[in-house]
Amino acid sequence: MLTRTENILILISVMIGAMLFMTALNRIWPQEKRREHNDLIGWQLGILGTTYAVILGFMLYTVWTTFCDAELNADLEANALRNVYRLAEGLPPSQRALLEKQSRAYADAVLNEDWPAMAQDRIPDESHVINQAMWRTLMSVKTATQSEITAEDHALFELASLTEHRRTRLLQSAYRLPTIFWCVLIVGGAVTIISASMFGSINVKLHSLQVFCFSLLITLVLLAIADVNLPFRGWVHVSKFAFIRARQNMNEPE
């Protein structure tokens, strides 16, 4: 999990490191001596750059898709919670009041307990306890009319959906790219930048600018992958706005 400040520091450090490496390389192996190997270096750099670009793009697409799935799942969970609250109106008075209270408590638990816990890489428990209580409330309904039977049936469906989305959210909060993928990304980025620096150019300043921009782009993409890789952690994370709206639309107890 990286903060915005840490992202900026890493970006600056990488850019300085790339420029220092190129300066040292020019002293150890001058541009004039490298030009005779440009055909070989350019051919290898073309293949290496293309391969790494494909890997980088695929990884970015994967983590962004996972992030969007986590955001959609949170919205669906909030929608299911709101539906349970609305369907409670068709239940007998005792179960209705209790289920509405539990629905509000669930929203409060998600906002005040779940999101902070997931941001710290912990598994929240409060919403799980409330979810179990909601099941007990619905299963205790002794239906007497057809409308109550219908309301209970729909409420059970929405509660099952709520439970499923909560479990999915917890799994998504623990998701991260395997270490081997990070090794491929980091090593591949370093090798690509080194290869670009080895090219022998007549215009040293232009070559330095190209390596700088190349390093900047690779570092920014890697930082984006690192930030989006953890959907509920860091300064780029899944919003809890859906639960805020759901809580606002629930009537406060009289």
Residue 180, in any domain of the structure: yes
Count of structural domains, the chain: 1
Asked if 253 and 101 touch (Cβ cutoff 8 Å), the reply is: yes
Q: How many CA atoms lie within 13 A of 86 on its CB side?
A: 10
Domain that holds residue 223: 4-248
What is the reported pLDDT for 155? 94
Residue 203 pLDDT greater than 70, yes or no? yes
pTM for this entry: 0.85
In 3D space, the residue among 1, 178, 157, 173 whose CA is nearest the CA of residue 73 turns out to be 173
Residue 253 pLDDT greater than 90, yes or no? no
What is the reported pLDDT for 1? 63
Residue 169, in any domain of the structure: yes
3-class DSSP state of 125: coil
Q: Which range, 47-56, 104-113, 167-176, 227-236, is most confident?
A: 104-113
Asked if 147 and 90 touch (Cβ cutoff 8 Å), the reply is: yes
Asked if 106 and 81 touch (Cβ cutoff 8 Å), the reply is: yes
- At which residue do the structure tokens 């809890």 appear? 240
Residue 164, in any domain of the structure: yes
Q: How far is CA 235 from the centre of its chain?
A: 10
32-54 residue pLDDT tens: 777 777 776 777 778 888 999 99
Residue 2 pLDDT greater than 80, yes or no? no
Residue 98, in any domain of the structure: yes
Residue 227, in any domain of the structure: yes
Asked if 71 and 239 touch (Cβ cutoff 8 Å), the reply is: yes
Determine the Cα–Cα distance for residues 215 and 73; give it in Å rounded to an integer.
Answer: 35
Residue 253, in any domain of the structure: no
In the predicted model, what is the mean pLDDT of residues 241-246? 94
- At which residue do the structure tokens 């009289």 appear? 254
In the predicted model, what is the mean pLDDT of residues 141-155? 86
Residue 110, in any domain of the structure: yes
In the predicted model, what is the mean pLDDT of residues 235-246? 92
Determine the Cα–Cα distance for residues 213 and 14; give it in Å rounded to an integer.
Answer: 12
Q: How far, CA to CA in Å, does 103 sit from each of 35, 73, 119, 122, 134?
A: 70, 18, 23, 23, 8
In 3D space, the residue among 122, 117, 83 whose CA is nearest the CA of residue 242 turns out to be 83
In 3D space, the residue among 206, 240, 212, 153 whose CA is nearest the CA of residue 17 turns out to be 212
Interior/surface letters 202-230, b for 16+ CB within 10 angstroms, e for the rest: eeeeebbeebeebbeebbebbbbbbbbbb
| Residue 254 pLDDT level (bands cut at 50, 70, 90) | very low
160-199 residue pLDDT tens: 999 999 999 999 998 888 999 999 999 999 999 988 888 8
In the predicted model, what is the mean pLDDT of residues 214-240? 91
Determine the Cα–Cα distance for residues 30 and 20; give it in Å rounded to an integer.
Answer: 14
71-87 residue pLDDT tens: 999 999 999 999 999 99
Residue 107 pLDDT greater than 50, yes or no? yes
Residue 145, in any domain of the structure: yes
Residue 63 pLDDT greater than 80, yes or no? yes
What is the reported pLDDT for 38? 72
